[in-house]
Amino acid sequence: MPARPGGLYRFPMGASTRARTRALIRPGVAGVLALILAAAVSACGGPGPRPAPNSPTPPTTSAVELCYDLISYWAGQDLAGSRWAGLDWEQKGLSNQQYEIYDDVVRAARAERKRHGAGAARKLVRQETRRRCTAEHGATRSSENWRPPA
């Protein structure tokens, strides 16, 4: 192919884009690109950022709070008729003991909803879940599958 001024090549009509690209990239340009790529890869391979020496630790959630959060959330989903309400206790992240509390609370909340409406049922879920989770110290003892969040 005849070279044009500046080292560019002239291509006949219909030449493939791949052939044009190969001819246009000079060996020096390819070498520079390889160096840039190698520098970028080596920069990414180092250790990650380290926390500041006096950075505060994230707050931890107690077993009682976790129990309350899980049960009140899933009871609310059940009362709302959510499609996720049908998951089993393991899929919901509950221990056996938490599932017992959940089952009792949902049963009582449904009855409360029939008598006094949805607002009263939600209030019962919050109060009864808080009471039972506190009394049972988070209700985590009965399941070998339950693990606290890491």
**pLDDT digit string (tens) for 84-113?**
888 887 788 888 889 999 999 999 999 999
- Which structure tokens are listed for 79? 């009362």
- The pLDDT-based confidence of 30 (bands split at 50, 70, 90) is low
- Which structure tokens are listed for 7? 């080292």
> Contact, 138 vs 64, CB < 8 A?
yes
Section 67-76 average pLDDT: 94
Decide if pLDDT at 53 tops 70.
Answer: no
**CA 31 – CA 15 distance, rounded (Å):** 25
Decide if pLDDT at 144 tops 80.
Answer: no
**What is the percent of the chain with per-residue pLDDT over 90, rounded to a whole number?**
37
**What is the percent of the chain with per-residue pLDDT over 70, rounded to a whole number?**
55
The pTM (predicted TM-score) of the whole model is 0.57
What lies within 8 Å, CB to CB, of 2 at 6+ separation is 9, 10
Section 70-78 average pLDDT: 94
